Amino acid sequence: MTEGHAILVTGGAGYIGSHVVLALLDAGLRVVVFDDLSTGRPEAVPAGVPLVRASTGDATALRAALRDHGIGAVIHMAGSLIVPESVTDPARYWRNNLANTLVLAEACLAEGVTRLVFSSTAAVYGIPDRLPVDEDAPCRPINPYGASKHAAEQLLLAVSAAHRLDIVALRYFNVAGADPAGRAGQRAPGATHLIKVACEAALGQRAEVAIYGEDYDTPDGTGIRDYIHVTDLARAHVEALRHLAMGGGSVVLNCGYGRGHSVRAVLRAVEHATGARIRVRIAPRRPGDPPAVVAAAQRIQGLLAWRPAFNDLDAIIADAVRWERHMANQDRRHLWS
């Protein structure tokens, strides 16, 4: 797929990045992780995979990594991704998500790397006119996170049109779950992803779950999201690389299932999976949160050899619960060791 070259995964020590690294390894590919560990965890990098600890804003470190490790393609996942935080600290999001992407693109051009898969987001759509939302829908982001990611998409597509750098931008919908084999999961403390938060609350690791707004124009008043299993999403990156290796052109693709679940539906499913009741607190809407976002997912399945294997909310939650129990057991062992 990369003619013997390695693949550089920026942000490969993070939640989604670590699953992408596993998917690449499972496909028999050679991987190098590039991560400043500001949010990533070194223990998330599999044994034997080189880790370059540096920021994607460091052009010298990037060029050295591309050159020294014989990189043939890049999967760019490093960035900032918490919507409310982007509202309160927009400069950080524009720097990490746009300025650093420019540094990476220039490094790729300088070192002759011609393929790049970009981690984008459904937040580029803002509040869609209709659901499910397809890739041709207007992009009207309502928070700095979505705006900075959309700008980075536009930057990369412009570079692709002018130079030999082919791009696949994958617009993630709501990513959840954990590796079914238990090799990886969400490790970051204080995570904001609903399914992780709900699992932690059900297992006694959090006191409650906040529902941010119950007055949306949705069937039960709470926000609706399209949840995709992290392992399915990781495999989409492998297929995006395969698309580029086979001469496919630059493209933007949604990564979702085309089915939405409300916050209350997710909480009920976690309660069912764990047998525990979750304490709920109703809170005001968060700035930058749309009422509902659901993917039109036909294009990715038509263009890539990608078919979801875990398209089921209960399966996503089962893997998330299993991972949280594993992490809790690890913490107990460390406490008594």
Assign residue 31 the CATH number of its domain.
3.40.50.720
Domain shared by 141 and 220, yes or no: no
Report the alpha-carbon distance of residue 245 to residue 3 in Å, rounded: 9
What pLDDT is recorded for position 333? 55
Residue 146 lies in a domain: yes
Residue 178 pLDDT: 97
> What is the domain range of residue 114?
6-177+226-255
pLDDT, one tens digit per residue, over 96-107 is: 999 999 999 999
Is there a single domain that holds both residue 153 and residue 30? yes
pTM summary value: 0.96
Query: DSSP letter string over 244-313?
Result: HHTT---EEEEES-S--EEHHHHHHHHHHHHT----EEEEPPPTT--SEE-B--HHHHHHSS---S---H
Residues β-bridged to residue 71 = 6
Asked if residue 1 is part of any domain, the answer here is no
Alpha-helical (H) ranges within the chain are: 15-26, 59-68, 83-88, 90-94, 100-111, 144-162, 194-202, 230-245, 263-274, 298-303, 313-336
Residues noted as catalytic: 145
Q: Report the domain count for the chain.
A: 2
**DSSP label of 98:** I
The answer on 102 and 216 residing in a single domain is no
Give every residue of the chain whose pLDDT is below 50, as ranges: 335-337
25 lies in the same domain as 96? yes
Calpha distance 155→17 (Å, rounded): 22
Parallel, antiparallel, or unpaired: how do β-strands 115-121 and 292-293 relate?
Answer: unpaired
Q: What is the pLDDT of residues 41-91, one digit of tens each?
A: 999 999 999 999 999 999 999 999 999 999 999 999 999 999 889 999 999
Confirm whether 279 is domain-assigned: yes
Tell me what pLDDT residue 194 has.
95
Can you give the pLDDT at residue 191?
80
Q: Are residues 264 and 240 in the same domain?
A: no
Q: What is the pLDDT of residue 3?
A: 63
For the domain that residue 291 is a member of, what is the CATH number? 3.90.25.10
Is the same domain home to 218 and 234?
no
